[in-house]
């Protein structure tokens, strides 16, 4: 409801790192000792990996390797302090990743790791089985291997797809249909940089549907043909920033009715809703992944932003119903007034008719006595009465 607009102003609690800044800082490292990926939490660069072992010490011993597939070199240092988020860095001259393959595989790797970690620890998926990139979903006419697959004890399957590269709406629809046919809930998460993340142009930012924004909304991005296809099929685009473990939800604050140009619109009468499929851009509401859960009934990742959108949708429906009730009450009142008027008219006419009929019964001589009066005309004075008198 209305409180949402002030969330960002009433700032309480620990400061969260800003999400969706297209930060590609390396926060994952392959630990030589445990042979698993390590995630460096925000602001923990000076802290400890595990009791007695600091991140800096671990890096200095060469235990943390770069997880990029074409790299694998040990990291040189931990960058902690300064404006940027704490992250791992290579020694100068080492690990110069190709911009195309490097960050992509890294993002994909981080996304899978973060999703897997979240799914493994989230209370709503407590006794679910997790498969990271290793269990294909097969149908007679093909197969797909989701990045993360969660299977409930009673066999419900949820597939997470982390999508970095470009994808057409048609291809997405085919994959979405494939999962639907296999009875799998599919959740698509896009990268926070690269082809799936195009910041909105100035022209798009000035469009009416993007005029109002919440201070909590992290960014404004373009909606591609793929996103519009998703919206057409009732799927709200989501983005994942693995560096801050944040989920972005496509959102806008709009007037639901089509208004005529030049009409003055107020934010108070607008609603926070998913973008319409014709929109060229939308805002991105950032929520911590930890606060999201899988809504099996709706087949989507239920983020706090989605909760707000659903509440706003309900409010919109109630308001529309109230407006309809008001209109019908007004209509009824008008109808009642009109009926009353008709009745009065009828009564008046009846009375007139009755009076006319009653008049018919009375002889004309009584009705209009002057016409029938037989009095002689008044005597005219003789002509000499008008003669001017001499004085």
Question: In the complex, what is the shortest distance from the CB of residue 156 to Zn ion, in angstroms, rounded to a whole number?
Answer: 38
User: Please, which residue, 68 or 158, has the CB nearer to Zn ion?
Assistant: 68
With CB under 5 A as the contact rule, which of the stretches 61-69, 204-212, 253-261, 370-378 interacts with Zn ion? Answer: 61-69
Q: Is there binding between residue 103 and Zn ion (CB under 5 A)?
A: no
Helix, strand or coil, per DSSP, at residue 11:
coil
**Segment near Zn ion (CB under 5 A), from 51-59, 64-72, 194-202, 300-308?**
64-72
- Residue 220 CA to residue 281 CA, distance in Å, equals 7
Q: Which is nearer to Zn ion, 29 or 150 (CB)?
A: 29
Phi, psi of 103 (to 5 degrees): -60, -30
Quote the least distance from Cβ 20 to Zn ion, whole Å: 23
| Cβ nearer to Zn ion, comparing 108 with 283 | 108
Least Å distance between CB 39 and Zn ion?
16
Of residues 106 and 294, the one with the C-beta less far from Zn ion = 106
Tell me the sheet residues that pair with 190.
163, 239
User: Shortest Cβ distance from residue 136 to Zn ion (Å)?
Assistant: 29
DSSP H helices, 160-293, are 169-181, 202-205, 225-232
Which residue shows structure tokens 């089509």?
Answer: 258
CA 200/CA 205 separation, integer angstroms: 6
Segment near Zn ion (CB under 5 A); pick from 33-41, 66-74, 196-204, 284-292: 66-74
Q: Binding-site residue total for Zn ion (CB under 5 A)? A: 4
SS3 readout for 211-245: CCCCCCEEEEEECCHHHHHHHHCCCCCEEEECCCC
* Residue 164: count of CB within 10 angstroms of its CB: 22
Q: At its nearest, how many Å lie between Zn ion and the CB of residue 172?
A: 31
Q: Tell which one of 19, 64, 66, 284 touches Zn ion (CB under 5 A).
A: 66
- Looking at beta carbons only, is 1 or 73 nearer to Zn ion? 73
| b/e per residue 87-122 (b: at least 16 CB within 10 A) | bbbbeeeebebeeeebbbbbbbbbbbbbbbbbbeeb
By CB under 5 A, what part of segment 270-289 binds Zn ion? none
Distance (Å, whole) CA 239 – CA 185: 17
For the chain, give the number of residues. 391
Q: Contacts with Zn ion in 67-96 (CB under 5 A)?
A: 68, 71, 95
Q: Which is nearer to Zn ion, 112 or 253 (CB)?
A: 112
**Binding segment for Zn ion among 62-70, 159-167, 285-293, 306-314 (CB under 5 A)?**
62-70
Instruction: Give the shortest CB-86-to-Zn ion separation in angstroms.
Output: 17
Helix (H, G, I), strand (E, B) or coil at 131: strand
Q: Looking only at Cα atoms, what is the longest distance across the chain? A: 152
CB of 68 to Zn ion, least distance (A): 5
Tell me the DSSP string of 61-80: TT-EE---TTT-PBP-EEE-
Smallest gap from residue 66 Cβ to Zn ion (A): 3
| Cβ-based nearer residue to Zn ion, 96 or 268 | 96
Rank residues 68 and 119 by Cβ distance to Zn ion and give the closer one: 68
Please, which residues have CB within 8 angstroms of residue 71's CB and are 6 or more apart in sequence? 95, 97, 102
Q: Which is nearer to Zn ion, 79 or 316 (CB)?
A: 79
Least separation, in Å, of the C-beta of 38 and Zn ion? 14
Q: Which residues bind Zn ion (CB under 5 A)?
A: 66, 68, 71, 95
């Amino acid at each position: 409801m209305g409180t949402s607009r002030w969330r960002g102003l009433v700032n309480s609690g620990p400061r969260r790192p800003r999400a969706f800044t297209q930060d590609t800082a390396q926060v994952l490292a392959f630990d030589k000792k445990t042979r698993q990926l390590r995630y460096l939490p925000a602001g923990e660069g000076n802290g400890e990996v595990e009791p007695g072992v600091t991140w800096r010490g671990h890096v200095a011993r060469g235990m943390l390797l770069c997880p990029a597939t074409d790299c694998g070199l040990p990291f040189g240092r931990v960058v902690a302090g300064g404006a940027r988020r704490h992250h791992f860095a290579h020694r100068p001259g080492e690990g110069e990743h190709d911009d195309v393959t490097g960050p992509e595989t890294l993002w994909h790797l981080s996304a899978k790791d973060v999703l897997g970690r979240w799914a493994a620890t989230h209370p709503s998926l407590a006794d679910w089985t997790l498969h990271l990139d290793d269990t294909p979903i097969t149908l007679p006419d093909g197969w797909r291997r989701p990045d993360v697959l969660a299977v409930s004890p009673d066999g419900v399957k949820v597939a997470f797809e982390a999508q970095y590269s470009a994808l057409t709406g048609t291809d997405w629809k085919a994959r979405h249909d494939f999962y639907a046919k296999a009875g799998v809930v599919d959740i698509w998460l896009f990268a926070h940089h690269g082809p799936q993340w195009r910041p909105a142009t100035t022209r798009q930012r000035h469009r009416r549907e993007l005029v109002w924004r919440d201070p909590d909304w992290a960014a404004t991005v373009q909606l591609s043909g793929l996103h519009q296809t998703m919206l057409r099929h009732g799927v709200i685009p989501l983005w994942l920033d693995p560096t801050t473990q944040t989920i972005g939800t496509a959102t806008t604050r709009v007037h639901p009715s089509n208004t005529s140009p030049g009409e003055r619109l107020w934010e108070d009468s607008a609603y926070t809703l998913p973008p319409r499929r014709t929109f060229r851009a939308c805002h991105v509401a950032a929520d911590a992944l930890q606060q999201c859960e899988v809504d099996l009934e709706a087949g989507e990742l239920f983020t706090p932003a989605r909760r707000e959108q659903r509440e706003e949708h309900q409010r919109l429906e109630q308001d529309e119903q109230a407006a309809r009730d008001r209109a019908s009450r007004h209509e009824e009142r008008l109808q009642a007034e009109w009926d009353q008027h008709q009745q009065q008219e009828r009564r008046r006419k009846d009375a007139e008719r009755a009076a006319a009929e009653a008049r018919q019964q009375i002889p004309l001589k009584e009705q209009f006595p002057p016409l029938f009066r037989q009095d002689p005309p008044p005597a005219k004075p003789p002509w000499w009465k008008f003669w001017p008198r001499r004085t």
